[in-house]
Structure 1
Amino acid sequence: MSAASGNLALLSAVELIEGYGAGRFSPVDALEAVLVQLDRLEPELNAFCLLDREGARAQAEASAARWKSGQAQGLLDGVPVSVKDIILTAGWPTLRGSHTINLEQPWSEDGPAVARLREHGAVLFGKTTTPEFAFKGVTDSPLTGITRNPWNTALTPGGSSGGSSASVAAGISPLALATDAGGSVRIPASFAGVFGHKPSGGRVAMYPPTPYATLAGFGPISRTVRDAALMMSVIAQPDLRDWEADPSPSPRYDLELEAGDPSHWRIAFSPTLGYVDVQPEVLEIVENAVETFRSLGAQVDVVDHVFDDPWPTLVSYKRGLTAFAFRNMPASRYPEMDPALVEEIEECRGASLEEHLTAQMERAALARRMADLHQTYDLLLTPTLATPPFEIGRNAPEGYEGRSWYGFTFPFNLTRQPAASVPCGLTRDGLPVGLQIVGPARNDLVVLQAARAFERASPWPLTAPIATRND
C-alpha cells in the first residue's frame, strides 16, 4: 500500500483494483475510507452538492461480493467515482448549480459516460459542485455557494469542474467525471495540482444534446495518468444517443500507455501561443518542465506564435449558442441567478446568424492551422494557465479583467483537439502550476502517453497537504 499512513482514500484507482484482486481490502473498506475523508474535509472545501451514502454502500457491497466470487465486473469495479452536477445520473437530480432547474423530475436516465461507469462496476457516491450552468472558470453558484482550493482554502480550485478537482486533490475522489467546454477540466486540474484530460471532440459520447456540444467534452480528473487512462478506456465507448460521437470502440488507453517513446517525438513549445500574458513565475516553472521532455530525448522547438488570439471567435461563436440555450429563460428568474451569467445572457440576446456562421468559419480555419502544425509536430506544449490560483470571490485574477487568463485552454475546444493538464511544479507560495499537452485531433493516446512519460520522469504530489493533515 503506497498511500500515506495506509489511508485507502489516498490510493489510486489502479492501486485499489490491485488490492481488491489480492484480497488485501474490499470496495466496502475503500468507500468507508473515502467517506471518512469526505466528512473530515468537506466542511472546509464544499466540493459536493449531493451525497448518496446508502446507495454507494449498496454498490460497494455488491462489488465486494463480485470480487469475493472471482467475478469482477469491468475495469473499475469497486472504485469510488464522483460525477459533476452537469451530467445526468439516474436517481439523482442534476441541478447544474442553479435554482432555475425543476427538482421535481423523474431523473431516471444516466448520461452515456455515467452508464459506462456503472457497467464497469464503479461506485458512484456523489455529485460535485459547478458554477451555474458551468459558465465560468471558478466554482461558486447561487445554489451551492463557494468551493475552495485544498492547497489554500482562501483561493479558488478553478472551474467549472472545481468540485471535481478539489475532491480529487483532497483525497476524497480517486476519480471524478468532469466536463470541459473552454478549459473546465484543465483549469481546475492546474489550480488543484491534479491531472485532467479533455478528450478529442466526439471521443466520449454526450447526452442529452446541448448547444455547446461541439465545444464540450466529458473527461477524467484524477491523481495519476494511469487512472485517467483507465477511466478513458471505460467512458469512451460508443453510445447511440450521441449521433455526433465517434462510433468506434475506444482503445485500451491504459494498456497502451507505456508504449510512447519520447525520443521519437517532435514537440512544439509555445510559451504564450503568441498572445497570452503569462506571469513570469508560472512561465519559469513551465519552461523547466519542458526541459524534462528534452531530457527524455524528444526534439523540442520553441514556437512563439502559433495563431492569433481566437478569443473574439469564441465570443462570437458562443453568443449564438448562449442566446439559443437561454431563449426560454424568463427575466423573472434573474434574481435567483449568478449576476455575471445574467449579464452574459442579456448581452447575447439578438445574436445574428451571420455572426455565428462567420465565427464557425474562423473556427474551421483555426482547426486547419493546428492540423498543419501537427504535420510537423507530434505535440504542442504550453502553460495550462497564465496565473496560479487566485482569491475566491473573483471571476478572474487581478490584472486580467477584460482579458482571457485561460487563453491557453479554450482554443482547443474550438479545434476539438485532445488536451491535458499535468502538474509541473509549485510556486514560491506553494501553489500548483500546470503544463498543458495538446495532441492532434482524435489522438488522445499520444497525449496520455506524453503525460505518463512526464509523470514517470517528474512525479508530482498526489494530493494537497490538506489530505494528510493531522487534525
Structure 2
Amino acid sequence: MSDFAKIPSVLDASAAIRECRLDPASLVRDCIDSIKSTNQSLNAFGDLYEEAALEQAREMAREARVGRVRGPLHGVPFGIKDLFYTQGLRTTRGSLTALDFVPERDAPIIRRLKQAGGIILGKTATTEFGWTGASTSRVFGNGRTPWDQRLTSGGSSSGSAIAVAARMVPAALGSDGGGSVRIPSAFCGTFALKATLGRIPTWPWSATEMLSHAGPITRTVRDSALLFDVLSGPDALDHQALPAPQASYLAACEAPLVPLRVAYCRTLFDVAVDPQIAAAVDAAVSQMREELGVAVEEIHLDWQDPVRIFETLWAAGRGIAYGKTLADRLDLLDPGFARLIEGAGRFDLEQYLDASRARAQFSNQVQQLFEGYDLLLLPTLPVLPFSADAVAPPGFERPDSLVPWAAWTPFTYPFNITGNPAASIPCGVSREGLPIGLQVVGARHQEGAVFNLCAHLEAINPWEQRIPDL
C-alpha cells in the first residue's frame, strides 16, 4: 500500500481509532511521511509539529484503549490554514511581515477542533493575508495542484486543499472571503462548503467580516458534514455567529434525497466557460436528472456582476486596515497586495456606503431566486488550473483592478456578498485529468439541503478513490 492510500477519511479514521483498530500515532506518522515525500514539490505545509502531534496521539491511543474518547475527532490529525490564530503556535498569515507572530489565544474554530479530539499536525499554506484566489506565496512557495505540479492549486486556502487532495492529512481547515475554499477545491478535487455567514464563528475581527467565512476542506461530503456538526454554533467572540443548527448535517447526508426545486445556470454575467468545464457540469446535471430523479430547470440569470461592490468592500476594507500597519513595509508584500494597499486610499466613505447599499440590493435579488428554488447549480469556476507562477489565466488578466483575481472567479465571490451557503464538489475531469468543480448554492441557513444533495451526488459519482499520481 502506498503512503497516500494509508491516509483514511475523517469518518473512517475516527471510527477505527474509537474501536482501537487504528493507532493515532501510526496515523500521524503516516501523515508526516506523506507530507515529507511530496511537500517540497507541492508547497502545502509550512510549520510541522511532529513531536507534539505524536505525543498527543500516543496519549489519545491510551485513552481510547480505556474507553475514554474526547469527541468525534479523537486522535485525527488536521492541517490548519496559517491564517487561524493558534495559541502558542506561530501564525504567519502568509506574510514576511508576520513571521514571528505567535497568538496568545486560539480562534473559536481551533478551540472546537481541539475539544473534539482533533490533533493539529501543522500549518498549511495561504496567500498573503488570504488576499488572492491564486496560490502565489513568498512564505510557502507557490501552491501546486497534485494533479499537475506545473499548475496552480488556487487559493487562498491553497495548502489545505493540496494537503487533502494529496493525502497528507484526512482533512484541513480553510477560510473563504471570495471563494478561498471553493477555488482550490475545484482545482485540487476536494469538497468544500462555504456556509451561511456566521455558521462557523470567526475571530479575530476582520475589515471584511461581511464576506469572511471559515470551514473545512475534505475528501468526502460526509467528512465535511461531521466537521460542520463539530464546528458550528455561536461564540461570544463573533457577533455575527448564528445559533446552533437544529439538526445534524451528517444526518442530512444519510437521509433520503428530499424533493427539491433545482435551478441550473450555465454561467453568470455572460462569462465564457471553458468548454471542458461546461461539458463536465452538463454531464453531472444530466446524471442527477437520470439517476437521482431530480427535476432541474435550466435558467438564465440577468444579475449584474457585483464585482465593483466586492472590490470596494474588499480593497477599502483590507487595504485601509492593513495599510495603517504595513505602509512602510510594502517592499516585503506580494506586489498585488501592495497595490491594493496603495490603491485603497482612493475610496471615500460615500463610496463605501454606496457599496454596502448595493450589496444589500444584490443580496435581495439573489434571495428572490430562492423563493422559487431550493438550490442553484453552476460551475465553480469558468477556467481550468493555469500556471502556478501566474496570478491569472490567459485572457483574464486585469492589471487595472485592485482585486484582479475576481476576473477569473466570477461565480464564487457573489455568494460571499450575499452570505449564501455554496459548495464545490468534484463532478468530472478534463482531458488532462484535471478536476472540475460543480457549485451547489442554497438559500441562507439551508446547509442541510446542500449537504443532502451533495451526498447523493457523491454516491452516484464517487471521487474519493481517485488519487493523484504522486
TM-score between the two structures when normalised by the length of structure 2: 0.95
| CA distance, structure 2, for counterparts of residue 14 and residue 344 of structure 1 | 41
RMSD between aligned residues: 1.6
| CA distance, structure 2, for counterparts of residue 353 and residue 152 of structure 1 | 45
Name the stretch that deviates more: 245-254 or 439-448: 245-254
- The answer (yes or no) to whether the contact 2:156–2:181 under 8 Å persists in 1 is yes
Give the one of 408, 424, 435 matched to 2:411: 408
- The answer (yes or no) to whether the contact 1:224–1:462 under 8 Å persists in 2 is no
Change (3 A) 1:358 1:172: same
Change (3 A) 1:157 1:14: same
For residue 401 of structure 2, what is the aligned residue in structure 1?
none
User: Secondary structure, in 3 states, of the residue corresponding to 1:465?
Assistant: coil
Query: Is 1:374 equivalent to 2:377 in the alignment?
Result: no
Cα deviation, residue 463, structure 1: 4.7
Unmatched tracts of structure 2, length 5 or more: 399-405
Unmatched tracts of structure 1, length 5 or more: none
Give the one of 262, 270, 282 matched to 2:265: 270
- The answer (yes or no) to whether the contact 2:3–2:34 under 8 Å persists in 1 is no
User: Secondary structure, in 3 states, of the residue corresponding to 2:243?
Assistant: coil
Cα deviation, residue 304, structure 1: 1.6
Name the stretch that deviates more: 177-186 or 287-296: 287-296
Give the one of 22, 47, 50 matched to 1:50: 47
Give the one of 300, 304, 312 matched to 1:316: 312
Change (3 A) 1:250 1:260: same
For residue 164 of structure 1, what is the aligned residue in structure 2?
160
For residue 33 of structure 1, what is the aligned residue in structure 2?
30
Query: Deviation per CA, 1:59-89, whole angstroms, max 9, x where unpaired?
Result: 2112112211111111111111110000001
Give the one of 189, 196, 201 matched to 1:193: 189
Query: Is 1:282 equivalent to 2:269 in the alignment?
Result: no
Name the stretch that deviates more: 69-78 or 112-121: 69-78
| CA distance, structure 2, for counterparts of residue 126 and residue 319 of structure 1 | 30
Change (3 A) 1:38 1:102: closer
- The answer (yes or no) to whether the contact 2:60–2:75 under 8 Å persists in 1 is yes
| CA distance, structure 1, for counterparts of residue 4 and residue 149 of structure 2 | 22
Aligned residue identity for 1:288: A
Aligned residue identity for 2:370: H
- The answer (yes or no) to whether the contact 1:197–1:420 under 8 Å persists in 2 is yes
For residue 148 of structure 2, what is the aligned residue in structure 1?
152
Change (3 A) 1:279 1:6: closer
Aligned residue identity for 2:248: R
Query: Deviation per CA, 1:409-455, whole angstroms, max 9, x where unpaired?
Result: 00000000111000011100111100000000111111111111100
Cα deviation, residue 203, structure 1: 0.5
For residue 458 of structure 2, what is the aligned residue in structure 1?
455
Give the one of 70, 91, 94 matched to 2:91: 94
Cα deviation, residue 137, structure 1: 0.8
Change (3 A) 1:362 1:104: closer
| CA distance, structure 2, for counterparts of residue 315 and residue 62 of structure 1 | 48
For residue 307 of structure 1, what is the aligned residue in structure 2?
303
| CA distance, structure 2, for counterparts of residue 375 and residue 410 of structure 1 | 21
- The answer (yes or no) to whether the contact 2:7–2:27 under 8 Å persists in 1 is no
- The answer (yes or no) to whether the contact 2:136–2:390 under 8 Å persists in 1 is no
Name the stretch that deviates more: 324-333 or 296-305: 324-333
| CA distance, structure 2, for counterparts of residue 408 and residue 393 of structure 1 | 23
Name the stretch that deviates more: 48-57 or 292-301: 292-301
Query: Deviation per CA, 1:77-115, whole angstroms, max 9, x where unpaired?
Result: 11111100000011211111111126154x221100000
Query: Is 1:79 equivalent to 2:82 in the alignment?
Result: no
- The answer (yes or no) to whether the contact 2:253–2:451 under 8 Å persists in 1 is yes
| CA distance, structure 1, for counterparts of residue 99 and residue 15 of structure 2 | 42
For residue 203 of structure 1, what is the aligned residue in structure 2?
199
For residue 184 of structure 1, what is the aligned residue in structure 2?
180
Name the stretch that deviates more: 435-444 or 299-308: 299-308
For residue 62 of structure 2, what is the aligned residue in structure 1?
65
- The answer (yes or no) to whether the contact 2:91–2:99 under 8 Å persists in 1 is no
- The answer (yes or no) to whether the contact 2:88–2:104 under 8 Å persists in 1 is yes
Query: Deviation per CA, 1:170-212, whole angstroms, max 9, x where unpaired?
Result: 0002111000000000000000011111111000001111111
User: Secondary structure, in 3 states, of the residue corresponding to 2:27?
Assistant: helix
| CA distance, structure 1, for counterparts of residue 424 and residue 101 of structure 2 | 37
Change (3 A) 1:180 1:287: same
| CA distance, structure 1, for counterparts of residue 68 and residue 3 of structure 2 | 26
Change (3 A) 1:278 1:104: closer
- The answer (yes or no) to whether the contact 1:113–1:206 under 8 Å persists in 2 is yes
Aligned residue identity for 2:181: V
What are the within-5 Å matches in structure 2 for residues 176-255 of structure 1?
176-248=172-244, 251-255=247-251
| CA distance, structure 2, for counterparts of residue 358 and residue 44 of structure 1 | 45
Percent identity over paired residues? 36
Query: Deviation per CA, 1:349-374, whole angstroms, max 9, x where unpaired?
Result: 14111111111111111111121111
What are the within-5 Å matches in structure 2 for residues 305-454 of structure 1?
305-402=301-398, 404-454=407-457
- The answer (yes or no) to whether the contact 2:232–2:244 under 8 Å persists in 1 is no
Cα deviation, residue 320, structure 1: 2.3
- The answer (yes or no) to whether the contact 1:204–1:218 under 8 Å persists in 2 is yes
| CA distance, structure 1, for counterparts of residue 336 and residue 245 of structure 2 | 40
| CA distance, structure 2, for counterparts of residue 250 and residue 58 of structure 1 | 36
User: Secondary structure, in 3 states, of the residue corresponding to 2:94?
Assistant: coil
- The answer (yes or no) to whether the contact 1:323–1:351 under 8 Å persists in 2 is no
Cα deviation, residue 299, structure 1: 1.2
- The answer (yes or no) to whether the contact 1:265–1:378 under 8 Å persists in 2 is yes
Query: Deviation per CA, 1:196-231, whole angstroms, max 9, x where unpaired?
Result: 111110000011111111101001100000101111
- The answer (yes or no) to whether the contact 1:202–1:245 under 8 Å persists in 2 is yes
- The answer (yes or no) to whether the contact 2:73–2:117 under 8 Å persists in 1 is yes
| CA distance, structure 1, for counterparts of residue 296 and residue 96 of structure 2 | 49
Query: Deviation per CA, 1:150-176, whole angstroms, max 9, x where unpaired?
Result: 111100110001101111000002111
| CA distance, structure 2, for counterparts of residue 422 and residue 260 of structure 1 | 19
For residue 109 of structure 1, what is the aligned residue in structure 2?
105
| CA distance, structure 2, for counterparts of residue 442 and residue 147 of structure 1 | 32
Name the stretch that deviates more: 160-169 or 136-145: 136-145
- The answer (yes or no) to whether the contact 1:317–1:355 under 8 Å persists in 2 is no
Cα deviation, residue 462, structure 1: 4.0
TM-score between the two structures when normalised by the length of structure 1: 0.95
| CA distance, structure 1, for counterparts of residue 218 and residue 99 of structure 2 | 31
| CA distance, structure 1, for counterparts of residue 287 and residue 204 of structure 2 | 41
User: Secondary structure, in 3 states, of the residue corresponding to 2:123?
Assistant: strand
User: Secondary structure, in 3 states, of the residue corresponding to 2:324?
Assistant: coil
Give the one of 12, 17, 25 matched to 1:15: 12
